[in-house]
């Protein structure tokens, strides 16, 4: 799981077309999602093979989820499951990230196998 989220080349195979990833607390992540939407944030916690927590948002003018304004936690659990929690979303902007993560987690599952 760790490399799928922290290696720019691998991440590009399921999430974006161009990525910069500094997988350490305080390190930046920037990904051009779907070749059009720049996502930008900072790593908060990085525990290889267990958990990655980062801020997330869109580096686009007037976007309801600005760069770094929300928190994404992805964790691996002993029973083999992976949990993704995206918190801090504005009430009126929950639907799009939910659809987006469903799409990209499906792609991630394919790459993981």
Query: Residues 69-96: what's their mean pLDDT?
Result: 88
pTM for the structure as a whole: 0.87
What's the pLDDT score for residue 106?
Answer: 83
What's the pLDDT score for residue 93?
Answer: 83
Dihedral-angle region of residue 89 (phi above 0 means left; psi in -120 to 50 means alpha; beta otherwise)? beta
Kindly report the CATH number assigned to the domain that includes residue 96.
3.30.530.20
* pLDDT for residue 1 is more than 70: no
Local structure of 66: helix, strand or coil: strand
- For 95, the domain range is 2-112
Q: Please tell me the total count of domains within the chain.
A: 1
What's the pLDDT score for residue 23?
Answer: 94
Query: Residues 81-95: what's their mean pLDDT?
Result: 88
Residues 27-53 pLDDT 10s: 999 999 888 899 999 999 999 989 999
Burial class (CB in 10 A: 0-12, 13-18, 19+), 37: middle
d(CA 98, CA 14): 16
Local structure of 22: helix, strand or coil: coil
Number of residues that make up the chain: 113
* pLDDT for residue 17 is more than 80: no
Beta strands of 6-112 (E only): which ranges?
16-21, 28-33, 37-47, 51-56, 70-76, 82-87
């Amino acid at each position: 799981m760790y490399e799928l989220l922290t290696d720019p080349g691998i991440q590009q195979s399921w999430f974006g077309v161009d990525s910069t990833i500094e997988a350490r607390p305080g390190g930046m992540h920037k990904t051009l999602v779907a070749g059009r939407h720049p996502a930008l944030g900072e790593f908060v916690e990085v525990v290889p093979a267990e958990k990655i927590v980062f801020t997330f948002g869109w580096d686009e003018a007037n976007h309801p989820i600005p760069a770094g304004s929300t928190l994404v936690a992805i964790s691996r659990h002993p029973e083999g499951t992976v949990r993704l929690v995206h918190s801090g979303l504005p009430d009126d902007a929950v639907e799009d990230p939910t659809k987006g993560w469903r799409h990209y987690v499906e792609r991630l599952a394919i790459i993981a196998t």
